[in-house]
């Protein structure tokens, strides 16, 4: 099942749960950050309420994507595995109020709507899961670079020293 538009508050009130998958190519902002547009993200969305009675969504997004290493500029696989708890507010003022009340950095407060785009929410979650500067743990050509770094370099002044003699 692909993503959808829903009434977020009704979804939470009914404590619905849906899951599906969405192609990376269907998420343009995410695709722009990747080395290629292949792959599929799996998602699940659970509605409910927190202990204070506020509408709450629990979103899980997982799946492999191809990032470009910032050291060697070659692609490498990165596994997105993210889960977020999102409390829904009716407007920005309500969001600020709930955020101050909860005082928990692990929970995000967002403005919900009656036409909530789940694909955009999935894309946001995937983007937040990406590293700021993606890098291989060890780049594939690192051995060659290590040899070059350890090789003894001739001083550019050694030629001048020979001329003096």
User: Could you give the residue ranges of the DSSP H alpha helices within the chain?
Assistant: 8-13, 28-32, 92-102, 118-129, 142-150, 158-164
* Dist CA 91 CA 64 (whole Å): 34
* Dist CA 87 CA 23 (whole Å): 26
* Dist CA 16 CA 25 (whole Å): 27
Please report, for residues 80, 91, 124, 135, the alpha-carbon distance to residue 32 in angstroms, rounded to integers and kept in the order given. 16, 30, 13, 17
Q: Which secondary-structure segment (H or E) carries 22? A: strand 17-23
Taking residues 149-158, report their average pLDDT.
67
- With 90 as the cut, is the pLDDT of residue 111 above it? yes
- Residue 1's pLDDT band (boundaries 50, 70, 90)? very low
- Report yes or no: 88 and 110 within 8 Å, Cβ to Cβ: yes
Handedness of CA 9, 14, 17, 20 (dihedral sign): negative
Domain coordinates of the chain in residue numbers?
A: 5-138
* Dist CA 110 CA 154 (whole Å): 60
Q: What is the pLDDT of residues 36-89, one digit of tens each?
A: 999 999 999 999 999 999 999 999 999 999 999 998 889 999 999 999 999 999
Residues of the chain with pLDDT > 70, as a percent, come to 85
């Amino acid at each position: 099942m692909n993503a959808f538009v829903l009434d977020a508050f009704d979804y939470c009130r009914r404590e619905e749960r849906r899951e599906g998958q969405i192609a990376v190519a269907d998420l343009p902002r995410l695709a722009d950050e990747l080395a290629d547009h292949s792959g599929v993200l799996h998602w699940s969305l659970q509605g409910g309420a927190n202990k204070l009675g506020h509408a709450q969504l629990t979103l899980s997004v997982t799946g492999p994507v191809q990032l470009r290493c910032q050291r060697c500029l070659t692609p490498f696989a990165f596994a997105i595995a993210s889960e977020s708890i999102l409390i829904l507010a009716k407007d920005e003022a309500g969001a600020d109020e709930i955020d101050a009340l909860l005082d928990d950095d692990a929970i995000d407060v967002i403005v919900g709507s009656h036409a909530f785009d789940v694909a955009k929410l999935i894309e946001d979650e995937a983007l937040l899961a990406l590293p700021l500067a993606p890098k291989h743990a060890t780049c594939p050509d690192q051995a060659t670079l290590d040899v070059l770094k350890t090789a003894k370099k001739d001083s550019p002044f050694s030629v001048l020293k020979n001329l003096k003699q």
